[in-house]
């Protein structure tokens, strides 16, 4: 196996860990959860996460949500998502 291949696998694992880290942080912190629940699009969600130090791609977010059988859709007023882990 080539070094670049190992680096890309390690990078993917770390990025998916960042998704989970954010989802657990939102599960524990109401203010963080409210901030991210107000975001309309996955693209803006990923961009906001990156600005907050959680580096991952849209594809990695989708993969984690699929693995956890969760939907990004939101509902209610105030807006709420069922993606937060505890």
Can you give the three-state secondary structure of 56-80, one letter per residue? CCHHHHHHHHHHCCCCCCEECCCCE
pTM of the model: 0.85
Q: What pLDDT band is residue 83 in, cutting at 50, 70 and 90?
A: very high
Q: Taking 60 as the threshold, does the pLDDT of residue 1 lie above it?
A: no
Share the mean pLDDT of the chain. Answer: 89
| 3-class secondary-structure state, position 35 | helix
């Amino acid at each position: 196996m080539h070094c670049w291949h190992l680096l890309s696998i390690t990078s993917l694992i770390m990025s998916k860990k960042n998704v989970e880290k954010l989802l657990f942080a939102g599960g524990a912190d109401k203010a963080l959860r409210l901030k991210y629940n107000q975001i309309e699009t996955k693209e803006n969600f990923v961009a906001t996460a990156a600005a907050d130090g959680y580096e991952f791609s849209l594809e990695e977010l989708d993969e984690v949500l699929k693995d956890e059988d969760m939907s990004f859709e939101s509902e209610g007023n105030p807006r709420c998502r069922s993606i937060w882990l505890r």
